[in-house]
């Protein structure tokens, strides 16, 4: 799981930088996925030494990121209708939202598998 955490962090950093460049450096908020990615990357690096703390921290940040991006994701319908004020923000937020949800699901599955393994060893 720490390697997945590091990979997700790198993907989010790339997504944030690309969106910032694509929006012609218009607003620092385009870097929010990169900021999330940097924190998740750091927790993944911590997870290489102490998996439990690193992955838990990464999942907490991912959960906060899901809540933070949900507002823009709800505007997805207005994007298809052509009435979205900031279409790039809606698209990038939706990508970030989906990536974070996938990571959370993988993390929960990992916790369940670890608990089952631990109980089978007892």
The more confidently predicted of residues 51 and 65 is 65
Integer Cα distance of 72 and 98 in angstroms: 12
Integer Cα distance of 84 and 91 in angstroms: 10
3-class SS of residue 74:
coil
The mean per-residue pLDDT over the stretch 90-117 comes to 93
The mean per-residue pLDDT over the stretch 66-71 comes to 92
Nearest CA-CA partner of 36 in 57, 3, 12, 17: 12
Residue pLDDT, tens place only, 29-43: 889 999 999 999 999
**Dihedral angle, C-alpha 96, 99, 102, 103, nearest 10 °:** -100
Backbone angles phi, psi at 24, to 5 degrees: 55, 40
pLDDT band, very low/low/confident/very high, at 26 (cuts 50, 70, 90) = confident
pTM above 0.85, yes or no: yes
Helix or strand run (H / E) with residue 83: none
Domain spans of the chain, in order of start: 2-121
Integer Cα distance of 96 and 92 in angstroms: 6
Instruction: Give the per-residue pLDDT at 122.
Output: 67
């Amino acid at each position: 799981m720490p390697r997945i955490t590091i990979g997700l962090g790198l993907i989010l950093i790339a997504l944030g930088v690309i969106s910032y460049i694509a929006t012609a450096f218009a607003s620092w908020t385009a870097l929010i996925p990169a900021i999330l990615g940097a924190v998740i990357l750091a927790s993944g690096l911590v997870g290489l030494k102490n998996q439990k703390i690193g992955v838990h921290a990464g999942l907490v940040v991912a959960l906060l990121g899901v809540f933070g991006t949900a507002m823009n994701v709800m505007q997805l319908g207005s994007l298809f209708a052509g009435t979205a004020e900031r279409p790039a923000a809606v698209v990038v937020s939706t990508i970030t939202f989906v990536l974070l949800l996938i990571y959370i699901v993988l993390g929960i599955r990992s916790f369940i598998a670890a608990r089952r393994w631990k109980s089978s060893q007892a």
